[in-house]
């Protein structure tokens, strides 16, 4: 069994030719499709293929789609695919399927060799066999791309590369399978289809990418109900179609309301090419924490919303209030009021199952920048943490202290980051206290 780590070359992507927004060129499957599944450890640093840091994803259950569909051809072709190379396009669709959700179901196990070797059959010297894991399902977010020169990424048009941490989260009869990986894996078959974001609430998130400034306003749009196909920005009183940032499908290069301005207004089209929320206009500015340029991988942009005429008319909002979930949710709970230079933490129960649950935690800096943070809470009913991502943690009895990792500790004033964990026991609302450093 091979491990394939798909790491986006973010630095190169930022310098690549921007992709014009346009019509979809790879059609959605009309029925659930079957392919081979592999796994990878996590998104590249600082960005995954869709242009977002892993800590900003709505879910840590995520997948990569194939950049190319070139059976038997393992050559590299420049991204984004243009001209004659468009015929080689895979389900990645030049990034246009970023931010969408897929429902994935476990299918047959391979009893032979299933290593994705170039030019070799899948599951050679064996057969596809059903077992107790068939039918386990999980909703997953498209966050990365698979462009490697192997059988998985080239020969199998419906191959999915799954986040390794998700493999044992597939649920059957209301409970995670728990032990499919590693002994019952062997890059088995899966079936999948695109779905709208599960239990979607709130509104989009907008953030500036590292290096963004008045004359290169690179943004990422996140928390999408039905993907993203284009961004339009208001400049000089006219709406313009933004250029996609290479083929990072949730990142676009916009312009100010006047050229070079640090005030911005955008509207967004989803996978159906319809303006979201009736043409809602999102108005925001380059955050004060960016100064002349944004130094963090992602800097949150607080926005106000308007009715489509270019002028904000509704009270300010900072984007989504509840992430999409695959199970019951609880409202977020936060710690005490944030002093200058402090932080708050909001905890949301994202999903639950018999004997376990997943929580998401959003950390927000106060009115001054912070260099690091830690979040502390106490479980009331003997719950324990099973796995945590985008943070380190220590537990003492029922008390857990999570702290930032190297890439998400420093936050500009008002900026946010997030981490998550799975736990054992019955989920309950917890009050978390955030301490800044």
Residue that terminates a domain, selected from 290, 306, 322: 306
Residue that terminates a domain, selected from 195, 225, 254: 195
**Domain assignment present for 369:** yes
DSSP symbols for 328-359: -----EE-SPPPTT-EEEEEEEEEEETTEEEE
Same domain for 242 and 165, yes or no, is no
- Which pLDDT band, with edges at 50, 70 and 90, does 327 fall under? very low
Sort strands 160-163 and 33-40 into parallel, antiparallel or unpaired.
parallel
Same domain for 189 and 274, yes or no, is no
Report, in this order, helix, strand and coil percent for the chain, each rounded to 5: 10, 40, 55
Q: What average pLDDT does the segment 322-331 reach?
A: 41
The answer to whether 226 and 204 have CB atoms below 8 angstroms apart is no
**Domain assignment present for 350:** yes
Same domain for 190 and 64, yes or no, is yes
Q: What average pLDDT does the segment 344-365 reach?
A: 82
The total domain count for the chain is 3
Same domain for 186 and 210, yes or no, is no
- Which pLDDT band, with edges at 50, 70 and 90, does 339 fall under? very low
Same domain for 114 and 242, yes or no, is no
Q: What's the confidence (pLDDT) of residue 358?
A: 79
Same domain for 105 and 188, yes or no, is yes
> Does position 315 have pLDDT exceeding 70, yes or no?
no
Same domain for 27 and 52, yes or no, is yes
Q: What's the confidence (pLDDT) of residue 413?
A: 85
Q: What is the residue-averaged pLDDT of the chain?
A: 85
Check which CATH number belongs to the domain holding 94 and give it.
Answer: 2.40.40.10
Q: What's the confidence (pLDDT) of residue 323?
A: 40
Sign of CA dihedral 104, 78, 99, 430: positive
Check which CATH number belongs to the domain holding 250 and give it.
Answer: 2.60.40.760
**Domain assignment present for 367:** yes
Tokens representing 145?
A: 């791309």
Same domain for 376 and 277, yes or no, is no
What are the pLDDT digits (tens) for 165-174? 999 999 999 9
Check which CATH number belongs to the domain holding 427 and give it.
Answer: 2.60.40.290
- Which pLDDT band, with edges at 50, 70 and 90, does 406 fall under? low
Same domain for 283 and 369, yes or no, is no
What are the pLDDT digits (tens) for 109-162? 999 999 999 999 999 999 999 999 999 999 999 999 999 999 999 999 999 999
**Domain assignment present for 320:** no
**Domain assignment present for 315:** no
- Reference 240, options 265, 204, 215; nearest CA is 265
**Domain assignment present for 47:** yes
Q: How far is CA 283 from CA 146, 256, 257, 267, 413, in A?
A: 34, 10, 10, 9, 19
What are the pLDDT digits (tens) for 42-62? 998 899 999 999 999 999 999
Q: What's the confidence (pLDDT) of residue 9?
A: 33
299-315 exposure pattern, b = at least 16 Cβ within 10 A, e = fewer = bbbebbbbeeeeebeee
- Report the first-to-last Cα separation within the chain, whole angstroms: 43
**Domain assignment present for 255:** yes
Give percent of the chain with pLDDT exceeding 90: 62
Question: Which of residues 200 and 5 earns the better pLDDT score?
Answer: 200
Residue 169: domain span: 10-195
**Domain assignment present for 189:** yes
Gyration radius of the chain's alpha carbons: 21
What are the pLDDT digits (tens) for 223-281? 999 999 999 999 999 999 999 999 999 999 999 999 889 999 999 999 999 999 999 99
Same domain for 100 and 135, yes or no, is yes
Same domain for 349 and 223, yes or no, is no
> Does position 106 have pLDDT exceeding 80, yes or no?
yes
- Which pLDDT band, with edges at 50, 70 and 90, does 355 fall under? confident
> Does position 32 have pLDDT exceeding 60, yes or no?
yes
Q: What's the confidence (pLDDT) of residue 361?
A: 87
Q: What average pLDDT does the segment 410-434 reach?
A: 82
Q: How deeply is 207 buried, as exposed, middle or buried, from its count of CB atoms within 10 A (0-12, 13-18, 19+)?
A: buried
Same domain for 177 and 272, yes or no, is no
């Amino acid at each position: 069994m091979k491990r394939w780590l798909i790491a986006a070359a973010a630095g190169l992507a930022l310098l690549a030719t921007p992709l014009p927004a346009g019509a979809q060129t790879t059609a959605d499957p009309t029925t659930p499709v079957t392919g081979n599944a592999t796994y990878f450890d996590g998104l590249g640093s600082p960005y995954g293929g869709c242009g977002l840091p892993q800590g900003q994803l709505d879910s840590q259950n995520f997948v990569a789609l194939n950049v190319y569909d070139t059976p038997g051809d393992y050559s590299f072709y420049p991204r984004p695919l243009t001209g004659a190379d468009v015929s080689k396009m895979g389900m990645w669709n030049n990034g246009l399927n970023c931010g969408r959700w897929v429902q994935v179901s476990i299918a047959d196990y391979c009893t032979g060799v299933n290593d994705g070797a170039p030019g070799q059959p899948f599951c050679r010297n064996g057969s596809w066999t059903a077992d107790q894991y068939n039918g386990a399902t999980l909703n997953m977010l498209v966050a990365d791309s698979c462009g490697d020169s192997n059988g998985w990424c080239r020969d199998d048009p419906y191959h999915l590369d799954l986040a390794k941490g998700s493999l044992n989260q597939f649920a059957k009869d209301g409970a995670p399978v728990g032990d499919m990986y590693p002994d019952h894996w062997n890059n088995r078959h899966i079936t999948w289809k695109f779905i709208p974001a599960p239990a979607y609430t709130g509104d989009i998130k907008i953030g500036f990418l590292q290096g963004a400034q008045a004359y290169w306003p690179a943004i990422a749009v996140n928390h999408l109900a039905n993907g993203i196909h284009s961004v339009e920005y208001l400049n000089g009183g006219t709406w313009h179609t933004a250029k996609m940032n290479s083929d990072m499908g949730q990142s676009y290069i916009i312009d100010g309301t006047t050229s070079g301005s640090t005030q911005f207004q955008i509207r967004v089209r989803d996978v159906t090419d319809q303006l979201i929320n009736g043409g809602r206009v999102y108005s925001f500015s380059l955050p004060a924490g960016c100064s002349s340029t944004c130094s963090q991988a992602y800097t949150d942009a607080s926005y106000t919303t308007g009715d489509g005429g270019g002028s904000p008319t509704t009270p300010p909002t900072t984007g989504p209030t509840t992430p999409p979930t695959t199970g019951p949710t609880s409202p977020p709970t936060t710690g005490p009021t944030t002093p200058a230079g402090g932080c708050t933490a909001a905890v949301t129960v994202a999903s639950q199952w018999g004997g376990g649950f997943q929580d998401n935690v959003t950390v927000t800096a106060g009115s001054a920048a912070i260099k690091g943070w830690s979040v502390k809470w106490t479980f009331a009913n003997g719950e324990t943490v099973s796995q945590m991502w985008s943070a380190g943690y220590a537990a003492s009895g029922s008390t857990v202290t999570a702290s930032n990792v190297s890439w998400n500790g420093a936050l500009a004033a008002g900026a946010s980051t997030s981490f998550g964990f799975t736990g054992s026991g019955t989920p309950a609302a917890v009050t978390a206290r955030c301490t800044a450093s």
